[in-house]
């Protein structure tokens, strides 16, 4: 299996802050891979290292075998990165922006592909519009188009759907899934965990600069195969004896982790003793969001 992206013992400090504490993992060619983690976990730093915008203090990163520092030009040609921040030249229109980006990769006659991406991303009628006149969602589409202009085999999207409407999300994912089925490797960071759950086959979770999980999606979900008990209580207070099972509170419901359904009896007995009445009760398999909360809980805080 060819390795699309490899991080080896990557460390990065910003002053006193250790943003990456020796990150090691590889993404294979053709994967649809999710890189998840709470705010400040180090995802964007890792992606900037991959794009050659930030240098690691130690360790290395490569794209299809090309080191992003010592073999920068080859690595840069093989990867397309959709950045989190909207950066653009306000004096260009959309087509000029994409032609300019093509020129950066030495592609002179790229209009057929530019037309195709404009069409697929719902930008065809904005091709001649000036960048500064576009809405935020439209600018985000151009960012995606810009990253794809040189048909990179490896595509990295850093929160591409942050603040965009449902229509773009659907258009974008249909397009990206199509590219993935044609062999492109996709790495995605997102805070919409249902996107990762639906689209990705492997998931890495980063927390405070360290990997805390790296697994196939099914295995990750299987390993956290307990159940989640959702309780609405009167009074709406969880007895102290049950606090250690609490995963989250959502819409007035307490979500408790159950490793075994037999624990249900003990929980109900504890509630009875504490004088709590159960108003609603629901038992579910945990979704990725609940697994994520368990993995990234700030025990060290
Ligand atoms: N240029 C910089 N100077 C100083 N600190 C930085 C710099 N870039 C990132 N950091 C810090 O490094 C840590 C990791 O940041 P990073 O942006 O990589 O996290 P993230 O996982 O992408 O977060 P988010 O989900 O919020 O985008 C954060 O604590 C951040 O404040």
Q: State the CB neighbour count (10 A cutoff) for residue 138.
A: 18
pLDDT of residue 19: 97
Residue with the smallest CA separation from ligand 1 atom 5 is 14
pTM: 0.81
Give the tens place of pLDDT for each residue, 159-196: 888 777 888 888 889 999 999 999 999 999 988 888 88
pLDDT at residue 52 above 50?
Answer: yes
ipTM attached to this prediction: 0.96
Of residues 234, 207, 214, 229, the one with CA closest to residue 282 = 229
Please report the domains of the chain, with CATH numbers, ordered by start residue.
Answer: 3-221 (3.40.50.300), 226-284 (no CATH)
Which amino acids bring their CB within 6 angstroms of ligand 1?
14, 17, 19, 37, 39-45
Q: From the CA of 62, how far away is ligand 1's center (Å)?
A: 21
Q: What is the atom index within ligand 1 of the atom nearest the CA of 15?
A: 4
Residue with the smallest CA separation from ligand 1 atom 2 is 14
Q: What is the atom index within ligand 1 of the atom nearest the CA of 46?
A: 18
Q: From the CA of 12, how far away is ligand 1's center (Å)?
A: 11
pLDDT of residue 109: 86
Alpha helices in 106-199 (DSSP H): 111-120, 136-148, 166-181, 193-199
Choose the residue to mutate in 15, 19, 212 for probing ligand 1, maximizing ligand atoms within 8 Å of C-beta: 19
Q: From the CA of 54, how far away is ligand 1's center (Å)?
A: 12
Share the mean pLDDT of the chain.
90
Q: From the CA of 193, how far away is ligand 1's center (Å)?
A: 20
Give the tens place of pLDDT for each residue, 56-103: 999 999 999 999 999 999 999 999 999 988 888 888 999 999 999 999
Where b means 16+ CB within 10 Å and e means fewer, 100-111 reads ebbeeeebeebe
């Amino acid at each position: 299996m060819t390795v699309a992206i490899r991080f080896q013992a990557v460390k990065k400090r910003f002053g006193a802050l250790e943003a990456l504490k020796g990150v090691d993992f590889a993404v294979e060619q053709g994967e649809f891979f999710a890189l998840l983690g709470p705010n400040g976990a180090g995802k964007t730093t890792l992606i900037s290292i991959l794009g050659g915008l930030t240098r690691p203090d130690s360790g290395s990163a490569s794209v299809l075998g090309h080191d992003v520092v010592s073999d920068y030009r080859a690595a840069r040609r093989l990867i397309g990165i959709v950045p989190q921040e909207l950066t653009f030249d306000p004096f260009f229109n959309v087509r000029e922006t994409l032609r300019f980006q093509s020129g950066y990769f030495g592609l002179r006659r790229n209009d057929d592909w530019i037309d195709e991406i404009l069409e697929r991303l719902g930008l065809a009628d904005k091709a001649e519009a000036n960048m500064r006149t576009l809405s935020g969602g439209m600018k985000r589409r151009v960012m995606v188009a810009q990253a794809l202009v040189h048909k990179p085999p490896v595509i990295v999207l850093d929160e591409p759907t942050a603040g965009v409407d449902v229509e773009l999300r659907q258009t974008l994912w249909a397009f990206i899934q199509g590219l993935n089925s044609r062999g492109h490797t996709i790495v995605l960071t997102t805070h919409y965990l249902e996107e990762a759950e639906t689209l990705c086959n492997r998931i890495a979770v980063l927390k405070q600069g360290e990997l805390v999980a790296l697994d196939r999606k099914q295995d990750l979900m299987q390993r956290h195969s307990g159940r989640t008990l959702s309780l609405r209580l009167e009074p709406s207070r969880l007895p102290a004896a049950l606090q250690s099972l609490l995963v989250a509170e959502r819409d007035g419901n307490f979500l408790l982790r159950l490793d075994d359904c037999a624990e249900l009896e003990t929980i109900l007995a504890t509630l009875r003793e504490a004088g709590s009445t159960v108003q609603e009760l629901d038992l579910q398999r945990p979704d990725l969001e609940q697994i994520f909360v368990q993995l990234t809980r700030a025990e060290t805080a």
